[in-house]
């Protein structure tokens, strides 16, 4: 029982991270039908952004005070992510907006390689993994459960809480606000939306900004929870997030969040209880993906509900 609950807890923490990144994939896909493979790298670069903020922009005497360090890192990471996402949209994807789907997809892969190599070459020490400080309450919270204890880091709790709040706020924004309506309209039919006075460029940039900001948020939480980052960090987390978006139905916000948590929990559960153990946990994630896509090609919350961003 204790092991089950412990694995569930770990799965939820991992899932919360995946969900935050998955939102960026799903929003961009919803509005311009582009799988932005460079999104995982935006996340990775923002972790380095947070680290750079901590190292070079926060006075040494304040580094130990997380109430100051964490907000600063957050601003740094989100700033890096948003600037990167906007530049990417402007210079890599906008010129290709009317091109066949393959061109922006290849471009996305190119941007991803470029960002990885850029960080590796120009961030001091990034040729290998670097450590990120735990700029939060460094405390594990232990709960007594039948048959043992469940331990969760305070950073893990923060990750889950922020992820859920972020998703709810985003959903409210998309469904309630004026800009949210413009985004949904552009997603449904860009040309008609334009006839109704919606500026598609502005709407698309905003989508990238929101996706980037969420990646920046995820980056800081990842940094303080995992405490290490290398240039490959965007790859596996990006793949997980992309899978979560597909699983939940690309374009659906609810789907991305549920997909993220599902993958997190499946990974830890499969490592514990499925044949093959931790060696095969990734296999089970993709088995699940295949099974879902066979019966619901649009993903869990794909077409019927259509909460596109």
Partner 1 sequence: MLTRIVRTKAEKGHHVRNHTVKAAVLVAGALLLAACSTNKTESGSGGNNQSCDQSKGTLVIGVIAPQSGGLSALGLGIKNSAMLAVDQANEKCAVPGYKLSVQTEDDQATAQVGAQAATRLSSNANVVGVVGTLNSSVAQSVQPILKAKNIVQVSPANTNPSLTRGTDYGTNPKREYANYFRVCATDDLQGPFAAKYLVGKAGKKNIAVITDGKTYGEGLAGEFKKEAVKEGAAIAAVAKVGEKDTDFSGVINSIRGSNPDAVYYGGEYPQAGPLSKQMKDAGLNVPVMGGDGIYDPKFIELGGKEGDLATSVGAPTDTLDTAKAFVSAYKAKAYKDDFSAYGAFSYDATNAIIGSLAKTLSGGTAWSDGKRADLITNVQSYSAQGATGEVKFDQYGDSTNKLLTVYKVSGGKWAADETGTFGG
Judged by the rule CB under 8 A, the positions of this chain that interact with partner 1 are 2-3, 6-7, 10-11, 13-14, 92, 95-96, 98-100, 103-104, 106-107, 109-111, 113-114, 117-118, 120-121, 127-131, 140, 142, 148-149, 151, 153, 189, 191, 226-230, 232-233, 235-237, 267-268, 271-272, 277-279, 281-282
Q: How many residues does the chain have?
A: 309
- Of 64 and 277, which CB lies nearer to partner 1 in the complex structure? 277
State in angstroms the smallest separation of the CB of 56 from partner 1.
18
Q: What is the spatial distance between Cα 260 and Cα 271, in angstroms, rounded to a whole number?
A: 17
The residue (of 2 and 83) whose beta carbon lies closer to partner 1 is 2
> Rounded to whole angstroms, how far apart are CA atoms 294 and 297?
6
Tell me if 188 sits within 8 A of 177, measured CB to CB: no
User: In terms of CB distance, is 113 or 196 closer to partner 1?
Assistant: 113
In the complex, minimum distance from the CB of residue 127 to partner 1, in angstroms, rounded to a whole number: 5
| Cβ at position 41, least distance to partner 1 in Å | 11
From the CB of 245, what's the least distance to partner 1, in Å? 19
Nearer to partner 1, 191 or 295 (CB): 191
Rounded Cα distance between 275 and 106, Å, is 37
CB of 89 to partner 1, least distance (A): 14
Closer residue to partner 1 in complex, CB, 142/172 = 142
- Which one, 148 or 297, has the nearer CB to partner 1? 148
Q: How far is CA 62 from CA 10, 75, 137, 227, in A?
A: 31, 16, 15, 19
Report the candidate in 165, 181, 209, 136 with the shortest Cα–Cα distance to residue 19.
165
Instruction: Count Cβ neighbours within 10 Å for each residue of 242-257 and write b for 16 or more, e otherwise.
Output: bbbbbbbbbbbbbbbb
Q: Which of 66, 118 has the CB closer to partner 1?
A: 118
Instruction: Compute the least distance from the CB of residue 218 to partner 1, in Å.
Output: 13
Nearest distance, CB of residue 241 and partner 1, angstroms: 13
* 121 vs 177, beta carbon nearer partner 1: 121
- Cα angle at 40 between 205 and 73, to 5 degrees? 80
Residue 254 Cβ vs partner 1, minimum distance, rounded to whole Å: 24
């Amino acid at each position: 029982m204790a092991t089950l609950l412990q694995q569930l807890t770990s799965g939820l923490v991992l899932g919360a991270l995946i969900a935050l990144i998955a939102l960026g994939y799903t929003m961009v896909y919803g509005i311009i039908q582009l799988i932005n493979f460079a999104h995982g790298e935006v996340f990775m670069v923002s972790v380095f952004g947070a680290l750079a903020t901590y190292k070079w922009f926060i006075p040494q005497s304040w580094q130990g005070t997380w109430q100051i360090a964490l907000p600063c890192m957050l601003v740094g990471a989100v700033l890096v992510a948003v600037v990167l996402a906007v530049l990417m949209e402007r210079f890599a994807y906008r010129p290709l907006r009317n091109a066949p789907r393959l061109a922006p997809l290849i471009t996305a892969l190119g941007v991803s390689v470029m960002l990885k190599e850029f960080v590796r070459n120009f961030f001091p020490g990034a040729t290998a993994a670097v450590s990120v400080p735990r700029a939060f309450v460094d405390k594990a919270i232990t709960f007594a459960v039948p048959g043992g204890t469940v331990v969760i880091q305070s950073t893990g709790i923060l990750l889950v809480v922020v992820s859920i709040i972020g998703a709810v706020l985003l959903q409210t924004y998309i469904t309630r606000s004026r800009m949210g309506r413009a985004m949904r309209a552009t997603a449904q039919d860009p040309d008609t939306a334009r006839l109704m006075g919606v500026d598609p460029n502005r709407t698309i940039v905003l989508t990238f900004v929101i996706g980037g900001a969420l990646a920046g948020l995820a980056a800081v939480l990842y940094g303080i929870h995992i405490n290490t980052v290398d240039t490959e960090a965007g790859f596996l987390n990006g793949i997980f997030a992309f899978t979560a978006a597909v699983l939940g139905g690309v374009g659906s916000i609810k789907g991305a969040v549920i997909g993220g948590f599902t993958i997190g929990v499946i990974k830890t559960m499969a490592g514990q209880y499925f044949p093959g153990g931790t060696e095969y946990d990734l296999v089970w994630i993709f088995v699940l993906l295949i099974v879902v896509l066979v019966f619901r090609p649009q993903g869990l919350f794909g077409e019927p509900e259509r909460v596109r961003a």
